[in-house]
Amino acid sequence: MAMFSERQDEKYMGGEAATQALSSTVVENAFVERVYEKISGVYDLTFGPTLHPGRLQAFERMIIAEGSSILEVGVGTGINLRHYPRSCQVVGIDLSAGMLEKARERIAKNGLRNVRVLEMDAAALTFEDNSFDTVYAPYLISVVPDPVAVVREMRRVCKPGGRIVILNHFKSENAVLSKIETAISPLCVHIGFKSDLDLPRFLEQAELRPISIDKVNLLSMWSLVTCVKDA
């Protein structure tokens, strides 16, 4: 079932989008896991400050109520965890044991008693249906082998009326930049993301109808996609 919005943005809903590939680059879980094991020690330095404005805007879009249950899909080193209200319960999942080790160190250092992290495949979540008020995927969708499968799982575990928030880089609408992003995508996967993930096709295939799409971070090259699950 699609997530219908307060406004449907026809700009992102192409009729043939569902039949086309999302990216020119194909990856498997084992490859992704190896990449993030390698960069876990430097992730906070390389992707921390530069991508932080988008993280802060994502928290605004989540509209976290007191006592909320939140799932962060692709928690990584736990760079977001200290920003959640202490009154909510947070579960973070990730496929990389190395990244999760850093997250657990951060949890202990900051005394985050309301947070736990688990090793799990984002495309095969082990949680029951309708478990979380908010499901958030920061900088994950362009990493996983099957973005659509991940979103379906995110929707499944989100409560009716809950929010699904996706923060990610998508291919530019500029023809020249998009060609460059497609050309360098096979290289970019070695630092953790596909640079040519197509937003209109992704939204179509995942049956997402956002209530908002905000451009964030440096040069507005990342998108913050907010959806509400049908009540």
Residue 74 within any structural domain of the chain:
yes
Residue 98 within any structural domain of the chain:
yes
Task: Tell me the pairing of strands 69-73 and 132-138.
Answer: parallel
Angle (nearest 5°) at CA 98 between 26 and 123: 40
Task: Give residue for tokens 């040069």.
Answer: 219
Residue 13 within any structural domain of the chain:
no
Which ranges of the chain have pLDDT less than 70? Answer: 1-20
> In the chain, how many domains are there?
1
Q: Which regions of 140-202 does DSSP assign to beta strands (E)?
A: 158-169
HSE of 25, CA atoms in CB hemisphere, 13 A: 24
Please report the pLDDT score of residue 34 as a whole number.
87
Please report the pLDDT score of residue 219 as a whole number.
86
Please report the pLDDT score of residue 27 as a whole number.
82
Residue 12 within any structural domain of the chain:
no
The CA distances from residue 166 to 62, 72, 98, 139, in Å, are 10, 10, 23, 8
Please report the pLDDT score of residue 20 as a whole number.
56
CA dist 121 and 125 (Å) reads 6
CA dist 52 and 49 (Å) reads 5
Residue 59 within any structural domain of the chain:
yes
Please report the pLDDT score of residue 53 as a whole number.
95
* First-to-final CA distance of the chain: 11
Task: Tell me the pairing of strands 158-169 and 132-138.
Answer: parallel
Residue 87 within any structural domain of the chain:
yes
Q: What is the CATH number of the domain that holds 176?
A: 3.40.50.150
Residue 200 within any structural domain of the chain:
yes
The DSSP output letter for 20 is S
CA dist 225 and 165 (Å) reads 6
Please give the model's pTM, rounded to 2 decimal places.
0.86
CA dist 206 and 152 (Å) reads 7
What range does the domain containing 121 cover?
A: 23-228
Residue 157 within any structural domain of the chain:
yes
Q: Which regions of the chain does DSSP assign to beta strands (E)?
A: 69-73, 89-94, 115-119, 132-138, 158-169, 212-216, 222-228
